[in-house]
Amino acid sequence: MPDHLKPKDLPTPSNRITCPECGNDEDFVEVAENVIITTLYTQNHDGSFTLEEDDSQVLGALKLICAQCEADLSNFHARFAEMLF
């Protein structure tokens, strides 16, 4: 990147999610409803525990929420899920 260009000067990709309520395009929260979390622990000789395995099942809806204004952006969840790397 040339020295005179800053990240804010670069073009914004057209596929970025932007909150229509507040304009936030950086911070989002995914909320899962009706989740079962199963965690396997092994107890050590000193009485402490070590996590061995962790599994979760989402039985309900997944929502996408704007982290700034808390608007429900669930309509964008499929796009969000496609872009998780």
The pTM (predicted TM-score) of the whole model is 0.68
Q: What pLDDT shows up at residue 15?
A: 79
Distance CA(68)–CA(77), nearest Å, equals 17
Q: What pLDDT shows up at residue 12?
A: 60
- Higher-pLDDT residue of 5 and 84 is 84
Residue range 5-10: mean pLDDT, rounded:
60
The structure tokens listed for 24 are 């936030």
> pLDDT tens for residues 36-81?
999 999 999 999 999 999 999 999 999 999 999 999 999 999 999 8
Report CA 19 to chain centroid distance, whole Å: 15
Q: Phi/psi of residue 73, each to 5°? A: -110, 30
- What distance, in Å, lies between the first and last C-alpha atoms of the chain? 24
Q: Which stretches of 1-85 are DSSP H helices?
A: 77-82
Q: What pLDDT shows up at residue 84?
A: 85
- The answer to whether the beta carbons of residues 12 and 54 sit under 8 Å apart is no
